[in-house]
Structure 1
Amino acid sequence: MLVVLVSFVITFLLSLLLPFVVKPLLVRLGVVDVPNERSSHEKPVLRGLGLAVLIAIVLVEAVFTVLTASTDPDGTAWKYLLIITLGTMCSGFLGLSEDLKGISVPVRSAVLLLIATTTSVAVIWLTRALYSAPTFGWNPLPWVTTVSVWVLVLLGIYGVLFISSYINVANFMDGLNGISGFHGVIAGLTFAAAGYLTPGAGWLIIAGLVLAAGFAGFLPWNLTKPGAFLGDVGSYLLGGAVAITSFTALIAGVPVLATIGPMIIYFGDVGTTLVKRVRAGHKWDEPHKEHAYQRLQQLGMSHVAASGVNAAFTVAASLLGLLSLLVAPVWWILLLVLGIALVVLYQLTPRLLSRKMTA
């Protein structure tokens, strides 16, 4: 536990202090967020401070990967940490490239798919190698009785779509002060709790706490004047770190609901909004302010208050996911239904609050 706490403290301090070095560099490079149709702020604000979070998270994860490998070279813990670290780093660097000079949509999509494919295949191959490779007699998933090569293929496809889409989701949702920072902290603590409750998943505790500490260190910079934004480097980092950690935990045997709990509110907000826009005849990729969190802010809520509502629903969904570690699988359907109900209630919250304010 001492080692785990050290990983949290060091990451937090690095994330909190590195902006003193990174911020002047961003100012010289002119990395500024200018308000547009999607923005919820009115004045230009420095962005790209996610670079400090990226350095803090990747550096600490790399150190603990090496330490874990030196103490247990034949184990899988350091290999899982290595995959998460490299995938997180690549996601952040992709966002950094977008911040500094911009990337065309085809190139960005291709790189996202490459990151998602590489990490998914690496995780599945590593875990499969622990079992009977010739017969694919691998069964870390409690709801699957027999794992065939086709199941591995389906898991790989799921991983590619899951990781690549969530990086975009995290980018879409990064529109209010506090919202991404809160999300990173909640997701990280949820993964750490899942690792604590899952035998043999100590690596997940470290990955989760490092993720939480990295975004906790960013929050003071984001929430105090004059403020600063993560930028694409930070939102891509957030999406990549959360999705890759979630998928790795799933393949390593953590129940699916525990791995996706912190993500369903984000997925629900983006998915529902895109469907509504397509049905209304709008282009899905046009800038807009129709997400539930944006509609909350438009009702007069402060950035922190609207982000707090999103965070509260994310905490509730995360707790439901963690409950799947404590109950029999037969109860997972109930937990899933409750999770979907949370997504629906979250989407209705702006409308319900609007009616209450006008009543």
Structure 2
Amino acid sequence: MTLLLLGGAFAFSFLLTMAYRSFALRFALFDVPNARSSHSVPTPRGGGLAIALAVLCVAPLWFWRNGDAIPAEWLAVLVTGAWFAFIGWLDDLGVFVSTLPRLVAQFIGAILALSMLSGMPPIVFLGISLGGGWVGIIVGLLYMVWMINLYNFMDGINGLASLEAVTVCVGLLIVSYVSHWEPELSFMLAILASASAGFALWNFPKSRIFMGDSGSYFLGGTLGALLLAAGWVNPDWLWCGSIMLGVFITDATLTLARRLARGERPYQAHREHAYQHAARALVGHVPVTLAVCIINVAWLLPMSLLLATGILSAQVAISVAYVPLLLLAFYWRAGLPELNEPDESIDHRGEISQ
């Protein structure tokens, strides 16, 4: 039954992406190149909605297979994901014309997630309690909103966001097997990976449709809520997820910090992420996306396993895992303006003909 549902999520996502692409072509729902873009031709956007619908339609069937109700924490994850997919799709349609309404909608989703999950888990890092009381509420809200936005910021080259979801979720599935996570959590990870893989076939190595905000908001928000739910069972599980997402977290955070230090607006279009500098330097998106996948599997997964099995503490595991990621982000000039780099749109062209 589980394998059937996972196969169904993959097929549903793949076929729905194909149908949505035809819809986007017909109604001219294109991503028009701007200062942040790594493509030069208008390309259909919003295909990530297929990932969200595949997960939201198929996941309940697994919980209902024996006539059981969806547990409260996983219902929270699905409801939160649905909200973020909805506001992301509105963003893809151009409903949010300014930053403030978009940010308000994101905080509403964050409040929804925390209220349904009973707040921030009681986690401690470097001797500081990050859960409970007003501190926990503030940390939880900032965590959820940042998860959405960092995933959105990192969705800029072929296959990066979708294959990040696949490798992170598969990596955490391996961790779950070793450390005996709850079956429900393992299934949620598996279905996210399956649905993301179905979309990735349309987005890598060539991009025939872009994920858009509907997909990046959904993946960022769902993974954020899922890790919070896992943290209530075992705080180390939240840290394992934070390690597996390390490439996205370090690149997006360093880039934002440097841009804010220069007085630039966070939502201003740009191409200053480390992965964007790397894609231009390597004259292609494929090597960068594959490199991120390799880092996830060859470096971040072993570090997560060392944490999950108790060999390393959370503080040590995160510190060791993040040091080379930060060095890579600095090397690839995360958050710094472009130098004398070519301005072509290397390898991120969409096939917009019928």
TM-score (norm: length of structure 1): 0.83
Distance 1:285 1:200, change over 3 A: closer
Q: In the aligned structure 1, how far is the partner of 2:150 from the partner of 2:195?
A: 19
3-state SS in 2 of match to 1:289: coil
- Quote how far apart the aligned CAs of 1:242 are: 1.4
* Aligned match for 1:82, one of 75, 82, 107: 75
The letter for the 1-side match of 2:283 is M
Q: How does 1:29-178 map to 2 (within 5 A)?
A: 29-67=27-65, 70-71=67-68, 78-103=71-96, 104-124=98-118, 151-178=132-159
Is 2:311 the partner of 1:317?
A: no
Give the gaps of 5 or more residues in structure 1.
129-138, 352-359
Alignment match, 2:255: 273
* Aligned match for 1:6, one of 4, 28, 48: 4
* Aligned match for 2:188, one of 182, 207, 226: 207
Alignment match, 2:212: 231
Moved more, 279-288 or 262-271: 279-288
Moved more, 25-34 or 151-160: 151-160
Aligned CA-pair RMSD? 2.7
Q: Deviations over 1:254-298 (max 9, x none)?
A: 513212122222121111112222333433332111100000011
Q: In the aligned structure 1, how far is the partner of 2:190 from the partner of 2:278?
A: 30
Identical counterparts, % of pairs: 25
Is 2:22 the partner of 1:28?
A: no
3-state SS in 2 of match to 1:222: coil
Q: Deviations over 1:127-151 (max 9, x none)?
A: 99xxxxxxxxxx7x69899x99x72
- Quote how far apart the aligned CAs of 1:32 are: 0.3
Q: Deviations over 1:315-345 (max 9, x none)?
A: 322431232111246x433312212213213
Alignment match, 2:242: 260
* Aligned match for 1:289, one of 271, 293, 303: 271
Q: Deviations over 1:57-108 (max 9, x none)?
A: 111112223336x24x5xxx73222111111111111100111132132221
Q: How does 1:279-358 map to 2 (within 5 A)?
A: 279-315=261-297, 316-328=299-311, 331-350=313-332
Contact 2:175 2:304 in 1 (8 A): no
Alignment match, 1:182: 163
Q: In the aligned structure 1, how far is the partner of 2:64 from the partner of 2:264?
A: 49
- Quote how far apart the aligned CAs of 1:200 are: 5.5
Q: In the aligned structure 2, how far is the partner of 1:158 from the partner of 1:226?
A: 36
Q: In the aligned structure 1, how far is the partner of 2:206 from the partner of 2:178?
A: 39
Q: In the aligned structure 1, how far is the partner of 2:140 from the partner of 2:305?
A: 21
Distance 1:159 1:229, change over 3 A: same
Higher helix proportion, which one?
A: 1
Distance 1:64 1:159, change over 3 A: farther
Larger radius of gyration: 1
Q: In the aligned structure 1, how far is the partner of 2:180 from the partner of 2:324?
A: 29
Contact 1:11 1:214 in 2 (8 A): yes
3-state SS in 2 of match to 1:183: helix
Q: In the aligned structure 1, how far is the partner of 2:177 from the partner of 2:124?
A: 18
The letter for the 2-side match of 1:203 is E
- Quote how far apart the aligned CAs of 1:188 are: 1.6
Contact 1:187 1:242 in 2 (8 A): no
Matched residue pairs, number? 329
Q: In the aligned structure 1, how far is the partner of 2:48 from the partner of 2:23?
A: 13
The letter for the 1-side match of 2:105 is V
Q: In the aligned structure 2, how far is the partner of 1:144 from the partner of 1:122?
A: 27
- Quote how far apart the aligned CAs of 1:347 are: 0.8
